[in-house]
Amino acid sequence: MIPPFEYQSPGTLTEACRLLGEWGPRGKIIAGGTDLVVSLRKGEAQPQILIDITRIPELRRIEEAGGKIRVGAAVTHGEIASSKLIQQYGKVLSDAASWVGSPQIRNLGTIGGNIVNASPAADTLPALMVLEATGRVLSPGTDREVPLCELLRGPYQSTLIPVELLAQVSFPKLSSDFRTGFIRLARRAAMAISRMSVAVALRMVQGEDRIDEARISAGAVMPTPRRMSEAESILRGKTPDEETMKKAAQCISGIMVRRSGVRPSTAYKAPVVEALFLRCMRQALGNSP
């Protein structure tokens, strides 16, 4: 059963930071609660207070500023999936968000929560990686912007300390010459955790059939999602023909095995992540459904 605690819903960032400073490790931030409440029910945490950040207006906004899209940490997956702004300038993220959980979960669960929960299978993380997202971290004394990968330490472990709040995640608007793709595989057709997911963003050399820039990330294949830079190098400057893409695909499964080690699931996951990557590339290139 969920253990007793106090509950505060600050209306401003200042108030939230103050509460965090006051309670420190005795408190926990709650946004949608879709991960936290499950955790509390299991007895995995016994906070003395929950600090609900969903009533802070800045954390609930999606806005465009300085060439970037800024998404408040308490924006829900449903809002991200249906945001015209994100569909236009970061479609890979709205695609990914539309797969999280169920409609009910998407109405509650937030992007900030997804990041801080740091599940290796989180759908939004690979998308955020290829968007080169950063997170704005606040605490009573600090206000810093860090690359997303610096927020993730390991499976279910963010790098945030108890007095810190992830307030916002931002990414540069993806220009219209970028094509993106997002693919995920699960054991049933809906409301299922990703067995594996792949996100790509590609930009071709103008007027040519060669890749100028490739960004690749995959979910549920490593302790924390990262950019697959070695595979990206293989693609850079090349024509996306079968041979090149296959090389990149094999590089990706190689990275997976190096970072996660060989496990019982590797025999399945290695060839399948390659297949999913190829499909994701074709999706981005507009060749295939």
Instruction: Determine which residue in the list 20, 54, 235, 281 makes contact with other proteins, applying CB under 8 A.
Output: 54
Give the Cα separation of 127 and 197 in Å (integer).
Answer: 10
Give the Cα separation of 265 and 162 in Å (integer).
Answer: 35
Candidates 33-41, 58-66, 83-91, 129-137; binding stretch for other proteins (CB under 8 A)? 33-41
Give the Cα separation of 202 and 207 in Å (integer).
Answer: 14
Candidates 46-54, 67-75, 112-120, 160-168; binding stretch for other proteins (CB under 8 A)? 46-54
Instruction: Determine which residue in the list 23, 28, 32, 240 makes contact with other proteins, applying CB under 8 A.
Output: 32
Give the Cα separation of 240 and 179 in Å (integer).
Answer: 13
Please report whether residue 34 would count as binding other proteins according to CB under 8 A.
Answer: yes
DSSP for residue 175: P
Give the Cα separation of 270 and 11 in Å (integer).
Answer: 47
- The shares of helix, strand and coil residues in the chain, as percent rounded to the nearest 5, are 40, 25, 35
Write out the two tokens for 174: 């993806």
Please report whether residue 185 would count as binding other proteins according to CB under 8 A.
Answer: yes
Candidates 38-46, 84-92, 159-167, 199-207; binding stretch for other proteins (CB under 8 A)? 38-46
DSSP for residue 227: B
Q: Which of residues 75-134 bind other proteins (CB under 8 A)?
A: 78, 101-105, 107-108
Please report whether residue 189 would count as binding other proteins according to CB under 8 A.
Answer: yes
Give the Cα separation of 205 and 212 in Å (integer).
Answer: 5
For residue 29, which phi and psi values (nearest 5 degrees)?
-85, 135
Please report whether residue 45 would count as binding other proteins according to CB under 8 A.
Answer: no
Please report whether residue 10 would count as binding other proteins according to CB under 8 A.
Answer: no
Give the Cα separation of 283 and 216 in Å (integer).
Answer: 13
Instruction: Determine which residue in the list 21, 33, 140, 254 makes contact with other proteins, applying CB under 8 A.
Output: 33
Write out the two tokens for 59: 């954390």
Q: How many residues bind other proteins (CB under 8 A)?
A: 44
In angstroms, give the least distance from the CB of 271 to other proteins. 8
Please report whether residue 57 would count as binding other proteins according to CB under 8 A.
Answer: no
Instruction: Identify which of residues 136 and 184 has a Cβ nearer to other proteins in the complex.
Output: 184
- Interface residues with other proteins (CB under 8 A) are 1-7, 9, 30, 32-34, 37-38, 40-41, 50, 52, 54, 78, 101-105, 107-108, 185, 187-193, 195, 268, 271-272, 275-276, 279, 288-289
